[in-house]
Amino acid sequence: MSNTFHNFIGGSWVPARSGTSIVNRNPATGEALGEFPESDAADVDAAIAAARSAQRAWRLTPAPKRAELLFRLAALIAARKEELAHAATREMGKILIETRGDVQEGVDMAYLAAGEGRRMYGVTTPSEMPDKWAMSVRMPVGVVGVITAWNFPFAVPTWKIFPALVAGNTVVFKPSELAPETGTNLARLVEQAGVPPGVFNLVHGHGAGSGAALVQHPGVDLISFTGSNAVGTWIAEECARRGKRVSLEMGGKNAVIVMADADLGLAADALAWSAFGTTGQRCTAASRAIVHESVHDALLTLVVQRAKALRIGDGLDPATEMGPVVSEQQLDRVHGYVTVGAAEGARVAAGGGRALDGALAHGSFYQPTVLAGVRPDMRVAQEEIFGPVLSFLRVNSLDEAIEVNNRVGFGLSSSIFTTDVNAAFRAMRDLDTGIVYVNHGTTGAETHLPFGGNRGTGNGHREAGHTMLDPFTEWRSIYVDFSGRLQRAQIDNS
């Protein structure tokens, strides 16, 4: 195969030391897009050695100078936005307007993170002793291992890598094996921007190989991970054993609440976009519609109409409104949940199977699916499906809607449609999720606000926004005593 790609280690493009490779395929057509290194512990060890070697000089580079490279990188990304979007659509399937947005988030994140180079604020505070200065500053953690999923192959890595770099850390990045070309494209841009060798390193491979080696390596100080709860929990356990820091973003089971006074047309549009945009493969995708009984049937009819009308196809076709599921394995998982839901008593109101018409037979396409008659205790109402499946649940009050929303193991995003300002404010207070929308779907987070959630969604850290540096920095408290004598805090001032 002519399209052969390499790892990026210590400023050089190198193959896997084992010589083995992974074939990257287009989920819409099955076409082979290229071969990528099937890296193992030896490749990871080389990347970490390069990162550790470069860390001291990078840490001592003034933060505004580190930021200048990110400003340069933002301009480079913006100039190649269309090319990057096409590459992402080819390898993971979502439609071009979405991959353009994916790349734009990278541009936004580069500018936002670069701004922190001149405002990496600490705190100064009066000392309780005379002739003594007290302050706190942020310090880099060291070597950061970044492991990300395939659904936002450009944006999500930048949420982690750019704040880590501007804070003075060095990075080893393992992208998903289902979206490796976008990871390579990001590495090429980092190289072109002039980031010094070893500061940023790219290692391809499967999670069980290079991913596990990165998590378990003693030379990595922090793992930042986006992916499933099962893998994230394993990473947390491994990091705890080794005393290293960990930042986790692990998905959601998000719901849109629709009250009796809602604009049903707007709610239906938002549900269709939140549930079927990115083929339902967003951690913020709407998986549940929690609807007041007085408008339940009317809204169900509207959403079913929208689901059946969606144009399914290759994401590169401008007429396509929903692309394929990322892989055959994921397609089987999605269909398995629909089968389970039906067995538990749910009614398939739309979709419910593979989309096989014409060219669709060559890809991993699934019909936009709506399940009616879902109860809160069903698996389809509790577990993350990560596909184009929306479950309708009926409630008779706002209190019940909030209780049903919160009765899941995740807490990422939630939404309420209502014209009652009192109901909206109660929902903003009581919905137990890291993100809450009013009169909007569950997707659409902006980079300048913190992103993350509660319970099984994460471990307390937030990405992006004004909290972006928190996972990647340690606080150092500094005291300068210029009194010329020994002063004993809490003793001499009692």
Please state whether beta strands 254-258 and 286-292 pair in parallel, antiparallel, or not at all (unpaired).
Answer: parallel
Number of domains in the chain: 2
pTM of the complete model: 0.96
Q: Look at residue 1 in the predicted model and tell me its pLDDT.
A: 47
Question: Are 268 and 234 contained in the same domain?
Answer: no
CATH of the domain at 192: 3.40.605.10
- Is 490 within a domain? no
Q: Which residues of 226-236 are buried (b: 16+ CB within 10 A; e: fewer)?
A: bbbbebbeebb
Instruction: Tell me the H-state helices in 14-80.
Output: 41-60, 63-79
Instruction: Tell me the H-state helices in 116-193.
Output: 155-166, 180-193
Question: Are 191 and 261 contained in the same domain?
Answer: no
- Is 119 within a domain? yes
Q: How far is CA 283 from CA 27, 151, 182, 229, in A?
A: 20, 9, 19, 11
Question: Are 232 and 357 contained in the same domain?
Answer: no
Q: How far is CA 248 from CA 217, 233, 236, 435, 469, in A?
A: 18, 9, 8, 16, 14
Assess whether pLDDT exceeds 70 at residue 201: yes
Question: Are 231 and 302 contained in the same domain?
Answer: no
Q: Which of 98, 105, 177, 283 is catalytic?
A: 283
Q: What is the mean pLDDT of residues 470-481?
A: 97
Give yes or no for a contact between 412 and 232, defined as CB atoms under 8 angstroms apart: no
Q: pLDDT confidence of 46, banded at 50, 70, 90?
A: very high
Q: Read off the pLDDT of residues 248-291 as tens digits, 9 standing for 90 and up.
A: 999 999 999 999 999 999 999 999 999 999 999 999 999 999 99
CATH of the domain at 284: 3.40.309.10
Orientation of helix 96-115 relative to helix 63-79, angle to 10°? 160
Supply the range of the domain harboring residue 210.
Answer: 7-250+458-477
Assess whether pLDDT exceeds 60 at residue 374: yes
What average pLDDT does the structure give for the chain? 97
Assess whether pLDDT exceeds 90 at residue 494: no
Question: Are 307 and 185 contained in the same domain?
Answer: no
Question: Are 198 and 277 contained in the same domain?
Answer: no
Q: pLDDT confidence of 23, banded at 50, 70, 90?
A: very high
Measured at the CA of 237, the angle between CA 235 and CA 239, to 5 degrees, comes to: 65
- Provide the CA 145 distance to its chain's centre, in angstroms: 15
- Is 55 within a domain? yes
249 is an active site residue: yes
Beta bridge partners of 236: none
The number of CA neighbours under 13 Å toward the Cβ of 383 is: 12
Rounded CA separation 337/30 (Å): 24
Q: Read off the pLDDT of residues 318-333 as tens digits, 9 standing for 90 and up.
A: 999 999 999 999 999 9
Q: Read off the pLDDT of residues 149-181 as tens digits, 9 standing for 90 and up.
A: 999 999 999 999 999 999 999 999 999 999 999
239 is an active site residue: no
Question: Are 281 and 186 contained in the same domain?
Answer: no
Q: Look at residue 123 in the predicted model and tell me its pLDDT.
A: 96
Question: Are 393 and 358 contained in the same domain?
Answer: yes
Rounded CA separation 182/418 (Å): 40
Q: Look at residue 493 in the predicted model and tell me its pLDDT.
A: 78
Assess whether pLDDT exceeds 50 at residue 221: yes
Q: Read off the pLDDT of residues 391-450 as tens digits, 9 standing for 90 and up.
A: 999 999 999 999 999 999 999 999 999 999 999 999 999 999 999 999 999 999 999 999
Rounded CA separation 369/286 (Å): 12
Q: Which of 35, 249, 321, 463 is catalytic?
A: 249
Question: Are 126 and 12 contained in the same domain?
Answer: yes
Q: Look at residue 197 in the predicted model and tell me its pLDDT.
A: 98
- Is 343 within a domain? yes
Rounded CA separation 469/472 (Å): 5
Give yes or no for a contact between 99 and 77, defined as CB atoms under 8 angstroms apart: no
Q: Read off the pLDDT of residues 90-138 as tens digits, 9 standing for 90 and up.
A: 999 999 999 999 999 999 999 999 999 999 999 999 999 999 999 999 9
Q: Look at residue 2 in the predicted model and tell me its pLDDT.
A: 61
Using the structure block, give the residue that is written with the tokens 């399914």: 312
